[in-house]
């Protein structure tokens, strides 16, 4: 499993290129076995989640980033099924509100971080601030940042500082017990088109379709450049990226579940052990209950 995980893992961006990743890759897995494999992975992870919840020292932040129709929602639904909902928190980030624009770009994401013992899932994340804003820089003007009056003020230095802010943010979280797993679901442009058409043809999926998604499709190359740059600038050994093939949803879910399982296994969690005095007290309480 380690070799499989390392194939998608990016810990530094020096030689990283999205062109090196096959969006239709499925390893040695077969579609007919996918449900069974997925359930086995989830069952193992759920047991360790209970230890994470009881230990209350670490937290897990899972970030999903992708182009429209890459399968973020369904990946979250399938890979997190069976987990204890008391220990999970899911946030989907849309366009910032006026209150959120009145703060720095990390503010709303910091508020949504998982507490110790919990798993946080962010459907889109603080990375939108170097993705959609990179493709549509005029959006940055809504932040009312000092010295930024028009898009011409958004120099390379501005973006370098923003990447640095993200690295520092994630470094701080790591040193305070939050393990971050960043997934980029890498779908091909051809597969995205087919999924858009399916959403139009299937009445049950019409609600998923948005004309805005097709409009953003026209900026495909710009988005690929923005994703590649973001991953290059923010992949570190402590907070790596995983580029997950997303043309085959059944395999995408297996890959995500394997990585989540491996990540929480690496924490080597155990249930808390009570001090002797507290254990003795429990025995006294047990004895009293048995006498009732």
Tell me the per-residue pLDDT of 227-267, one tens digit each, with 9 for 90 and over. Answer: 999 999 999 999 999 999 999 999 999 999 999 999 999 99
Residue whose token pair is 């969006």:
23
So what's the pLDDT on residue 38?
96
Q: Which two tokens stand for residue 1?
A: 């499993």
What's CA 158's distance to the chain center, in Å? 25
Cβ proximity of 184 and 227 under 8 Å:
yes
Query: Which SS3 state, helix, strand or coil, does residue 19 take?
Result: helix
* Domains, the chain, with CATH or none: 2-291 (3.40.50.300)
Whether the pLDDT of residue 172 is over 80: the answer is: yes
Whether the pLDDT of residue 71 is over 90: the answer is: yes
Whether the pLDDT of residue 1 is over 80: the answer is: no
Query: How far, in Å, CA of 72 to CA of 121, rounded?
Result: 11
User: What is the pLDDT of the chain when averaged over all its residues?
Assistant: 95
Question: Where do runs of H (alpha helix) occur along the chain?
Answer: 2-6, 34-55, 72-79, 98-101, 107-111, 132-135, 156-175, 189-201, 211-217, 220-234, 249-265, 276-291
What's the whole-model pTM score? 0.93
Q: What is the pLDDT of residues 30-42, one digit of tens each?
A: 999 999 999 999 9
Q: What is the pLDDT of residues 7-24, one digit of tens each?
A: 999 999 999 999 999 999
- DSSP label of 10: E
């Amino acid at each position: 499993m380690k070799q499989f995980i390392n194939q998608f893992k990016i810990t530094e961006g020096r030689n990283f290129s999205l062109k090196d990743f096959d969006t239709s890759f499925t390893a040695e897995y077969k579609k007919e076995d996918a449900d069974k494999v997925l359930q086995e992975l989830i069952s193992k992870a759920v047991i360790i989640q209970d230890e994470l919840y009881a230990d209350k020292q670490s937290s897990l932040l899972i970030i999903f980033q992708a182009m429209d129709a890459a399968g973020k929602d369904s990946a979250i639904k399938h890979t997190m099924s069976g987990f204890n909902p008391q220990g999970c928190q899911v946030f989907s980030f849309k366009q910032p509100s006026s209150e959120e624009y009145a703060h720095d770009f990390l503010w709303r994401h910091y508020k949504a971080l998982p507490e110790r013992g919990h798993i946080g899932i962010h459907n889109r994340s603080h990375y939108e601030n170097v993705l959609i804003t990179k493709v549509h820089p005029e959006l940055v003007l809504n932040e009312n940042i000092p010295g930024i009056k028009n898009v011409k003020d958004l120099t390379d230095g501005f973006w370098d500082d923003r990447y640095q802010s993200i690295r520092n943010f994630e470094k701080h979280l790591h040193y305070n017990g939050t393990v971050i797993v960043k997934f980029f679901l890498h779908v091909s442009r051809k597969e995205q088109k087919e999924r858009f058409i399916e959403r139009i043809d299937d009445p049950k999926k019409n609600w998923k379709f948005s004309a805005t998604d097709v409009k953003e499709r026209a900026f495909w190359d710009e988005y690929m450049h923005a994703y590649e740059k973001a991953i290059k600038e923010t992949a570190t050994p402590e907070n790596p990226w995983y580029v997950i093939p997303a043309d085959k949803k059944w395999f995408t879910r297996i890959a995500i579940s394997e990585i989540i399982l491996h990540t929480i296994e690496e924490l080597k969690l155990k249930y808390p052990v009570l001090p002797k005095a507290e254990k003795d007290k429990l025995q006294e309480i047990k004895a009293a209950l048995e006498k009732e």
